[in-house]
Structure 1
C-alpha cells in the first residue's frame, strides 16, 4: 500500500468504526453525513484494503471477517486521535471554571491564600469555592463530592483520588511567657504529663491535630490529661495566653504572651498533603460521543432502524443537557490536577517541602 493510499484509509476509519451499528442510514445519522456518502466511503475502504469490510445482511449491513479483524485497531486509532484532540481543546478549559477546595482551618492563614494567588497568577479566570473546618469535615466534603481538592494533615489514600505530600510541619508546645519552661529548648511528653504539670489544651475530636496529640501521648505511654477542648488553634492559643494551660500546636512565631517550646518526641511532626479527585474520563474503544450526535439520535442506536430515530429526538435533548453537566463535572478535577502539576502551586510545595510565604 502506498503512503497516499494509507492516508486515504486513515481518513475513512471514522466512518468504518460506526458501521457496526448495522444500518447505513443509522450510521449516516450518527455521523451527520448523507447516506450515499457513507456507502461510498465503506466501499472505497474495501477497495483500498483489497477486501470488503462490510456486506449486505437483509436490509442492513454487517462486518465481514476482514472488517471484524480491523475494527478493534480502527477503534483504538480513532480513539487515540480523539483523546489527543480532546487534550488540546480541553486545555483551554483550564483557564476557566471553578475548583471546590476544602481545608483544615489553620491552613487558611497562609497556605490556601498563597496557593490561590499563585494559581490565579496563571489562570485569572478560575474561581474557588472554599470550605473549612476540621480535618474530618474536609475529608467528608471530599468523599461526598462537595469539593475536588482537600488539604489536610496526614492525607489518606482514597479510591478515585491522588494523594500528594506537600510538606512536613513540626509540632511545638505553646506556653505562657512566664512559664518556667518558656526559655527551654524543648519539653518531653513525660514532663507535660506529670501530676503537678499544666493542664493540656487540645482541639476537639475530629481535628487532625487532636489525633496526632493522642498518638504522641499513647506512644510515650503517658495519660492524656485534658483541661480544655477548643475548636480552633486561635482559641487554644488564647487559652494559653490567659495562663490556663499549655497546648501542642503547629510551629508558630512568638505572639503576645504565648511562646513556642520544642517538643521532644520523634512523632512531633505532622504531614500536610493534598487529595485531588480523578477525572471520570476513561480510555475506552472509540465511539462517537453522545454530544456529537445526540440532537439527531439520542441513545446509541445499536442496530436500530432509521425509522425509530425520529421518535428519540425529545430524549436526545435531555441527553444533550446531561452531556453539558458531565463536562462541568469533569472540569473541576481537571483544574484541580493542575494544582498538583510539578510547575503548579501545590506541585511546587511538594518539591520545596517548605511552608508557603
Structure 2
C-alpha cells in the first residue's frame, strides 16, 4: 500500500476555485475519512485521487512517485460510488468479476476471489441472482465486493451509504468497520455524515469550503476541536453555542450572556484572560447539562420540545433568544412548556473567539 501525499493540490472550474491549494498525507494502511458539508471539496478531492478529475495545480504522489498524469486504471485504485452502477444484465458473480475478466485473470483465480469476497460480505448465496432481485443493502455489498476482488492497493468510497435507509445504514457501518479490520489496505472514505466518520475512521479530515479545518482521531476532534466549525460539526447532537462576554469578578472569570452566567474553571479562565477580545461563543455539548443542579453551574431553560429517543431524550430548550439542545434521561420525563433548572459541567465548556472562531 502506498503512502499518498497531496502537495498543493487545487481544482478550479473556469474562474471558480472549488479546492484551494491543499496538502494532505494519507498514511499506509489507514482508514481516512474526509467529512464536511455539501460543497466542501471532499468528493472533488477523492475524484482527483481516482483520476476522474484533472487537478488544476499541484501534484499527488504515491510513495514519492507523481501520479497525476496516470490514467485511472494505472493507479492501482478501486472505487465504490454512491450509486451502485451494477450491470443489470449480469448476475452478481459476473458483476463482481468484470474487471478481473477484462484483465484476463484465470477462471480459477476469478472464482476463488469472488467466492472469498462474497463470503466475507455475506452475499455468497446471491451470486447467481441479477441486481434487480437484490435489496439496496445487498446491491451496495456487491458494489463493495466488485472493488475488493480487484485487490487494489487503495480503496476509495464516495458516500456509499447515503442511499440506504437509517437502519440499513447502521448495519452497513458495522460491516464496513469489520471489513476495515480484516483488510490491510489504504481506505479513503467520503461522507457528510459525522456519525459515519466517527465510527469508521482511524483519522478524520474535516473540510469546509475546500479547506482542511482539522484532522485527527475521532476522540481528538471531539475533545480538542481547533475552531467553532469543527466543534459544531463533530458530535451528535451538535454542540450548543451561547453568545456572551467574559467578565472578571473577584478573581473568578465568568462567561455571561442573556439568561446565563457560568463561572469558568481555572485552566479555561487563564486562556480566557489571555484572549484579545472578551466577546466569545461559549460551546456546551448537550451531554454537559445534568439534572443535578449541585453538580454544575445552574442555568434556567425553557423546555420547548422533548424528543423521546428511548433511553435518552433530547430536549429543545431556550435560553434568552437562543435554542439549546439538552440530553436527558428518559426515566425522568420533563414536560414541554415549563422552566427547568439544569447544572452545566463547566469543566467541559469550550470558549471560541467570536471574530475568528478559533478555540481559546
| TM superposition score normalised by structure 2 | 0.20
Q: Which has the larger radius of gyration?
A: 1
Relative contact order (C-alpha < 8 Å, sep 6+): which is higher? 1
Name the one with the larger strand percent. 2
Normalising by structure 1, we get a TM-score of 0.20
